């Protein structure tokens, strides 16, 4: 099939896609990477699901995602000896039965998804874009097609940090392969899929488009998340057409400033304040710039970076993290191991007034972003109030005295303030005066 013909068919298949709203609000959930890396077992996953159902579900948390490596029999080997992959006869990864007992006998993730659904929650998985190199080496057939793996694979293209797969060609065989994945995942009753090594360095537009088409054909509503960042602003209009969420930065870990990071590539909380500004125009229903996971609580027992630990973020910084993610309406994906959460962390994650900002505010926008002071505002859902988030990004105390017109409100009036973290009405004020400790924040609702 000529490329132009394939592109025309792809474009036609996608015409109704924008009307299919899969994420009307930013997805809220948990992802296994920050605490388990490649290694999570079914028992550990179920433990996190049980905890979410008991403690977080009433606050709107619903997604549980198995991150990278669920098809590895020996994930703790570090690839030495070689990884042991589990594939089906059509070249698709399947859950490793040594780790996911309910997947034995070809059931895949359907039993585990069924368990998650029985709790009233939603289930998702991670995958690296492309087709397994082992499937290409064996030239396995592509399900429900006349093609084989070699027809779909671009053997010149591998992910720079995970060579398990080859890229997929933008041809009919490539579409057939992604169609076969989407059909399989629909039978597993997935609700969410995070596709990695696809949204930056470089942005793989053809594969993103094919995956979106395949998910649409599969007939099951599945949220599409793209990773890692930073996704380029030059492709913002394209990515928001095909995915419900996409990463805006490198991986975020529990570092405040670059000088504290030990790997040279992670995004820091300090850096995320500036990164998020440019994505303001693209925040909206079914289209969520993703500031990455929340590395809070206990990152263990086998985290994706470093040794098991309580988050390096202080309580003040963890509150700032969740406040900023909420005022920019980022998806909220917890990274810490849920059964280890203490009362303080649980309270942080279940504050209804703060979560309402993430889920229901509108017109989110920055007012000030400096080396020390950051201010964002948004409209409350009833359109009768305003949210105001103020952050001390610096290392010294900030004493603030602001007139109301400096934060987008009419001057010469008094406004009623409510502290959303403390659940306190602060009375009326003719101006805004407060002191912020280093790395601290406040989140107010302001009413006339």
Q: How many domains would you assign to the chain?
A: 2
How does residue 15 score in pLDDT terms, banded at 50, 70 and 90? very low
How does residue 138 score in pLDDT terms, banded at 50, 70 and 90? very high
Residues 6+ apart with CB under 8 A from 305: 34, 37, 251, 253, 263, 266
Same domain, 252 and 383: no
pLDDT score at 16: 46
User: How far apart (Å, rounded) are the C-alpha atoms in residues 14 and 17?
Assistant: 5
Q: Sign (positive/negative) of CA torsion 41, 42, 46, 49?
A: positive
Residue in 347, 419, 352, 407 with CA at minimum distance from that of residue 55 = 347
CB 338 within 8 A of CB 71: no
pLDDT digits (tens, 9 = 90+) for 94-121: 999 999 999 999 999 999 999 999 999 9
Same domain, 269 and 382: no
pLDDT digits (tens, 9 = 90+) for 298-349: 999 999 999 999 999 999 999 999 999 999 999 999 999 999 999 999 999 9
pLDDT score at 17: 47
Same domain, 125 and 211: yes
pLDDT score at 262: 57
pLDDT digits (tens, 9 = 90+) for 39-84: 999 999 999 999 999 999 999 999 999 999 999 999 998 887 899 9
Range of the domain at 200: 3-360
Same domain, 233 and 296: yes
pLDDT digits (tens, 9 = 90+) for 169-224: 999 999 999 999 999 999 999 999 999 999 999 999 999 999 999 999 999 999 99
Same domain, 169 and 62: yes
pTM: 0.95
Same domain, 41 and 163: yes
Mean pLDDT of the chain: 94
Of 295, 325, 360, which closes a domain? 360
- The CATH number given to whatever domain includes residue 341 is 3.20.20.70
pLDDT score at 261: 56
Same domain, 421 and 299: no
User: How far apart (Å, rounded) are the C-alpha atoms in residues 337 and 51?
Assistant: 10
How does residue 264 score in pLDDT terms, banded at 50, 70 and 90? low
Of 340, 360, 380, which closes a domain? 360
pLDDT score at 397: 98
Same domain, 45 and 18: yes
pLDDT digits (tens, 9 = 90+) for 142-184: 999 999 999 999 999 999 999 999 999 999 999 999 999 999 9
- The CATH number given to whatever domain includes residue 433 is 2.60.40.1180
Same domain, 373 and 394: yes
Of 342, 360, 378, which closes a domain? 360
Same domain, 420 and 339: no
User: How far apart (Å, rounded) are the C-alpha atoms in residues 157 and 65?
Assistant: 27
Same domain, 127 and 188: yes
Same domain, 325 and 441: no
pLDDT score at 260: 58
């Amino acid at each position: 099939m000529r490329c132009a013909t394939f592109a025309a068919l792809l474009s036609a298949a996608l015409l109704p896609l924008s009307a299919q709203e899969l994420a009307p609000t930013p997805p809220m959930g948990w992802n296994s990477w920050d605490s388990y890396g490649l290694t999570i077992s079914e028992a550990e996953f179920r433990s996190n699901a049980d905890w979410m159902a008991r403690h977080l579900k009433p606050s709107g948390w619903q997604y549980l995602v198995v991150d990278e490596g669920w098809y590895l029999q020996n994930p703790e080997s570090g690839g030495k000896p070689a990884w042991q992959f589990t594939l089906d006869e059509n070249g698709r990864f399947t859950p490793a039965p040594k780790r996911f007992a309910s997947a034995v006998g070809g059931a895949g993730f359907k039993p585990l998804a069924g368990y998650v659904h029985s709790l009233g929650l939603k289930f998702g998985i991670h995958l690296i874009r492309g087709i397994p190199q082992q499937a290409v080496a064996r030239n396995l057939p592509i399900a429900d097609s006349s093609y084989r793996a070699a027809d779909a694979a671009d053997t010149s293209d591998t992910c720079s940090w995970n060579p398990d797969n080859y890229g997929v060609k933008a041809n009919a065989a490539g579409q057939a392969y992604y169609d076969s994945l989407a059909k399989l995942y629909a039978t597993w009753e997935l609700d969410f899929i995070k596709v990695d090594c696809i949204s930056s360095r470089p942005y793989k537009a053809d594969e993103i488009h094919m995956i979106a088409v395949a998910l649409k054909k599969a007939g099951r509503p599945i949220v599409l998340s793209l990773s890692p960042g930073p996704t380029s602003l030059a492709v913002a209009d394209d990515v928001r057409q095909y995915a419900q969420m996409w990463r805006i930065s490198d991986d975020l870990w529990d570092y405040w400033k670059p000088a504290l990071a030990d790997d040279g590539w992670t995004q820091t909380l300090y850096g995320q304040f500036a990164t998020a500004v440019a994505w303001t125009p693209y925040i909206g229903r079914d289209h969520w710039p993703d500031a990455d996971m929340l590395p809070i609580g206990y990152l263990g027992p086998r985290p994706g970076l470093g040794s098991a630990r309580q988050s390096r973020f202080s309580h003040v910084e963890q509150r700032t993290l969740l406040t900023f993610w909420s005022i920019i309406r980022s998806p909220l994906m917890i990274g810490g191991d849920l059964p280890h959460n203490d009362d303080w962390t649980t309270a942080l994650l279940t504050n209804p007034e703060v979560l309402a900002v993430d889920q229901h505010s509108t017109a989110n926008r920055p007012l000030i972003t400096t080396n020390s002071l950051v201010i964002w505002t948004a409209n409350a859902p009833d359109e009768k109030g305003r949210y105001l988030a103020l952050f001390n990004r610096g290392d010294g105390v900030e004493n603030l005295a602001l007139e109301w017109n400096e934060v987008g409100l009419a001057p010469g009036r008094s406004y009623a303030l409510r502290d959303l973290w403390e659940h306190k009405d602060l009375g009326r004020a003719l101006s805004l005066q407060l002191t912020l400790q280093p790395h601290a924040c406040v989140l107010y609702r302001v009413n006339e």
